[in-house]
Amino acid sequence: MASLDKIDAAILARIQDNNRLTSEELGNIVNLSPSACQRRLKRLRAEGVIESEVAIVSPKALGRAITMVVLVSLERERSDIVDRFKTALRTTREVMMGFYVTGDADFMLVVTAKSMEDYEQFTRRFFYENPDIKGFKTMVVMDRVKASFGFPIDPGDPMFGDD
Amino acid sequence: MASLDKIDAAILARIQDNNRLTSEELGNIVNLSPSACQRRLKRLRAEGVIESEVAIVSPKALGRAITMVVLVSLERERSDIVDRFKTALRTTREVMMGFYVTGDADFMLVVTAKSMEDYEQFTRRFFYENPDIKGFKTMVVMDRVKASFGFPIDPGDPMFGDD
DNA sequence: AGTGAAATTTATCTAAC
DNA sequence: GTTAGATAAATTTCACT
């Protein structure tokens, strides 16, 4: 993966909160011409430093879409079982996020559903019919207080090379 | 909140995965002129249906930034205590996500740190020094298998009005 | 190398219908 | 909702350090 300099870090810090800034606005912030900014953006996209650029939609706007946090434990932590489950996560639309974790559970999922009945049906399909799964624990989300993938990027951090 | 029609739903379904589509591309997909698309986008942004538009940055690119899933229990679920904690979440850079949940825990957080030492320091500041907090449980993220805020939007769903 | 300035292509906004 | 013209931005080219 490419090494990033302080300017890259400053650009990332900004666009991870708002990717609709123009190159001109971005250039003013990081002291670079708009074209230089764009070249960097293009590079960061091509190298996969920027994984994706998305709109975050309000859950409320989409009906009473409910969200659950689910902790999943597998029967055995064998790599083929873990990999199979990872693939299932990636291909299941209801699963917004899936993190493979250490500790009390093996996976933390964020799952959306239209209703509780909908979610129950999902759990039958996704959990009960899967012999690899030992158990799962559901917590219903009452408020999505903070929802971002923004990292605390500090361009002054020595981990970022000089320009 | 505004009522959405099937075209709005189709637009949201697309841009929640990729917000860099041009209005022309978007228009082709949803059978609308580019300017009509843009008007809708503008409205969806103004109404808060689109909460934000962001770049998702690769954790690997930012050094070995580690991520933790943390389940937090408060001493009491009194509304002023809950609200105070919500505010703390919103203003703390290390906290990527904070969900208020029912069940075994009161909050599920996703927290990032540069290192385990860094995280330990965060827990002292954020948890141990906060008398409102009964306890917390940390799970270290080994793999961010799936990371999105994309909802399974079906424009054909009757919940979306006709155009 | 990577940068900045100008020209071109492309997208977006405004206005009229 | 559309189309057409004005505005603005992204992209490419090129000269420079």
Tokens of B106: 């009161």
Chain A residue nearest residue B68, CA to CA? A101
Distance of CA A25 to the CA centre of its chain: 26
A110 interaction partners in chain B (CB closer than 8 Å): 99
**pLDDT tens, residue by residue, A107-163:** 999 999 999 999 999 999 999 999 999 999 999 999 999 999 999 999 999 999 987
pLDDT score for A1: 62
pLDDT at A8 over 80: yes
Task: Point out the nucleotide closest to B20 (alpha carbon to C1′).
Answer: C11
**pLDDT tens, residue by residue, B31-90:** 999 999 999 999 999 999 999 999 999 998 998 789 999 999 999 999 999 999 999 999
**What band does B1 get if pLDDT is binned at 50, 70 and 90?**
low
Tokens of A16: 């991870």
**What band does B163 get if pLDDT is binned at 50, 70 and 90?**
confident
Q: Is A46 part of the contact surface with chain B (CB cutoff 8 Å)?
A: no
Cβ neighbourhood burial of B90 (10 Å; 0-12, 13-18, 19+): exposed
B89 interaction partners in chain A (CB closer than 8 Å): 145-146
Give me the residues of B, 88-117, that contact A with CB < 8 A: 89-90, 93-105, 107-108, 110, 112
Distance of CA B37 to the CA centre of its chain: 25
How many Cα neighbours within 13 Å face the side chain of A43? 16
pLDDT score for A58: 94
Position of tokens 């055995």? A76
**What band does B2 get if pLDDT is binned at 50, 70 and 90?**
confident
A140 interaction partners in chain B (CB closer than 8 Å): 101-103
**pLDDT tens, residue by residue, B9-27:** 999 999 999 999 999 999 9
CATH of B6-46 among 1.10.3720.10, 3.40.720.10, 3.40.1690.10, 1.10.10.10:
1.10.10.10
Q: D1 C1' – B23 CA distance, angstroms?
A: 16
Angle at the Cα of B97 (from B94 to B103), degrees rounded to 5? Answer: 125
Nearest in space to A110 (alpha carbons), one of A142, A77, A138:
A138
Whole-number Å distance between alpha carbons of B60 and A99: 15
CB B123 within 8 A of CB A158: no
Whole-number Å distance between alpha carbons of A60 and A66: 9
A86 interaction partners in chain B (CB closer than 8 Å): 143, 145
CATH 1.10.10.10 residue ranges for chain A: 6-46
CATH 3.30.70.920 residue ranges for chain B: 60-140
The predicted model scores a pTM of 0.92
Contact B151 A101 (CB under 8 A): no
Q: How far is CA A5 from CA A51, A163, B47, B112, in A?
A: 18, 6, 37, 21
Give the domain B60-140 fold.
Alpha-Beta Plaits (3.30.70)
Q: Is A49 part of the contact surface with chain B (CB cutoff 8 Å)?
A: yes
- B7 contact to strand D (CB, 7 A limit): yes
**pLDDT tens, residue by residue, B86-137:** 999 999 999 999 999 999 999 999 999 999 999 999 999 999 999 999 999 9
Q: How far is CA B29 from CA A71, B10, B14, B24, B152, in A?
A: 37, 8, 9, 9, 17
Which H, E and C letters describe chain A, residue by residue?
CCCCEHHHHHHHHHHCCCCCCCHHHHHHHHCCCHHHHHHHHHHHHHCCCEEEEEEEECCHHHCCCEEEEEEEEECCCCHHHHHHHHHHHHCCCCEEEEEEECCCCCEEEEEEECCHHHHHHHHHHHHHCCCCEEEEEEEEEEEEEEECCCCCCCCCCCCCECC
